[in-house]
Amino acid sequence: MTHSEMAWEFAGLFHDLKIEEINEVLAKNVPIGMLEFFDSYGADVASAEGLDGDTAKRIPNMLLLGYLLRVLEERLLPEEPSDLPS
């Protein structure tokens, strides 16, 4: 599976989850400090770029989805061989 295919599968799966299920995924996979960081950083980016309303509110969510996708990749994709001898 390619990174792109994995991202599309993840997006489809995430779209079908109920709010309680999303909260469970977040609780099991994202430290509270990371959630706070995404919220703060998203607000900073929105302010710096002059964004407000729904667009500004979506920035932390996009950061969070990217983080969750990266966690999924690390768990599912085989590690690349190292160039260093064993």
Give the DSSP H/E element, type plus range, for residue 78.
none
pLDDT tens string, the chain, 86 residues long: the values are: 788 888 888 888 888 999 999 999 899 989 999 999 999 999 999 999 999 999 999 999 999 989 998 888 888 877 666 655 55
pTM: 0.75
Separation CA 69–CA 83 (nearest Å)? 26
Residues 6 or more apart from 41 whose CB is under 8 A from it?
A: 60, 63
Residue found under tokens 């994995």: 6
